[in-house]
Amino acid sequence: MHDYTPITELPGTQLNDEQFARIAQRYLLAAQHAHDQRVLEIACGAGAGLGMLIQNAKLAVGLDYTQNILAVAQSHYGDRLPLVGGDAQRLPFANASFDLLVNFEAIYYLRDQQMFFQEAQRILRPGGMLLLCTSNPHWPHFAPGPLTTDYPCVTKIARWLEECGFVARHYFGAFPVSAARGIKQLIAPVRKCILQSGLISPESPLGALIKRFAYGPLRPLPVELQPAHIVRDGPEMRLTPLSGDIVDSIHRVLYVLAQRAYNSESTGLLALSSMIFAGI
């Protein structure tokens, strides 16, 4: 039974501009689809993005596996929204409970990832949507993080979604390798070697110093994201449509938007192709 506290981005964690941009992109997209919906964030961590979901959703719920991390969210949000302890592979909710499920940068900690998709299908209402974000294991300088099990690629996720009854499956890449310039481009292979060696933890003071040298000034993650924290422009914020049949090695981040079938019928889904988040 793992304790994910040391690797969780808690309030006050020092982040660089790119990390803030990644978080902003996730929750801007989630908030866009949360209007008047019953929303569950699976693996919500300390809940930095839950406030953005509350603003638009009919109901927003946060679920996390680690109780002391969930307690951080509880101490901030109080009775503004329900927070639930639970396992993403055995979700503690009745069938057809939610309209939208979001899961960001967490699937690679699960031992039975296909079970996650089965559970997501079960608790979504017919026509409900799953929004998933994960790191792409096939970009050139990818390095797995601690406590992870497996990083699924687009083709594996596509197969699971089809097997679990999701339709209108859309795949996107973000943060292309080509957008990394200068010192960021030079430091990527060095960072990979450091992480794989296990000699320096990314969460250690020395790890933070390397991060600052590589990516520029750091700033603390707030307990709740506000509009002033959100980065909305830049080439890395563009979503590029991907095929579910081809492994992508160009982007560092993968997004999946899939819809549970209305019974056995296929349905349409809002197209998001090549969306730029400026102005949302």
Give pLDDT tens digits for 63-96.
Answer: 999 999 999 999 999 999 999 999 999 999 999 9
Mean pLDDT within 18-32: 92
> Is the Cβ–Cβ distance between 39 and 61 less than 8 Å?
yes
Neighbours of 50 (CB within 10 A): 27
Q: How confident is the model at residue 213 (pLDDT cuts 50, 70, 90)?
A: low
Angle at the Cα of 112 from the Cα atoms of 111 and 118, rounded to 5 degrees? 150
CATH 3.40.50.150 is the classification of domain 5-177+220-260: yes
- pLDDT-derived band at 275 (thresholds 50, 70, 90) equals very low
Strand partners for 100: 39, 129
Query: What is the reported pLDDT for 279?
Result: 40
| Alpha helices, DSSP H, located in the chain | 17-33, 50-56, 67-77, 113-123, 154-163, 182-197, 205-215
What pLDDT does residue 268 have? 46
For the chain, domain boundaries: 5-177+220-260
163 or 168, which is more confident? 163
Res. 27: pLDDT tops 90: yes
What pLDDT score does 76 carry? 98
Q: For residue 262, what pLDDT band results from cuts at 50, 70 and 90? A: confident
Is pLDDT at 223 greater than 70 in this prediction?
yes
Question: Is 53 within 8 Å of 60 (Cβ atoms)?
Answer: yes
- Rounded distance between C-alpha atoms, residue 16 and residue 224, angstroms: 17
Residue 271 has what pLDDT? 43
Q: Is the pLDDT of residue 202 over 70?
A: no
pLDDT tens for each residue of 41-67: 999 999 999 999 999 999 999 999 999
Look at residue 227 and tell me whether its pLDDT is greater than 80: no
Phi, psi of 43 (to 5 degrees): 70, 60
DSSP state letters, 185-225: HHHHHHHHHHHHHTSS-TTSHHHHHHHHHHH---EEPPSS-
pLDDT tens-place string over residues 5-21: 999 999 999 998 888 99
- pLDDT for residue 158 is more than 50: yes
Instruction: State residue 280's pLDDT score.
Output: 41
Evaluate if residue 108 carries a pLDDT over 80: yes
Does residue 172 contact residue 250 with C-beta atoms inside 8 Å?
A: no
pLDDT at residue 197, rounded to an integer: 60
- What is the predicted pLDDT for the residue at 146? 92
- pLDDT for 217 equals 82
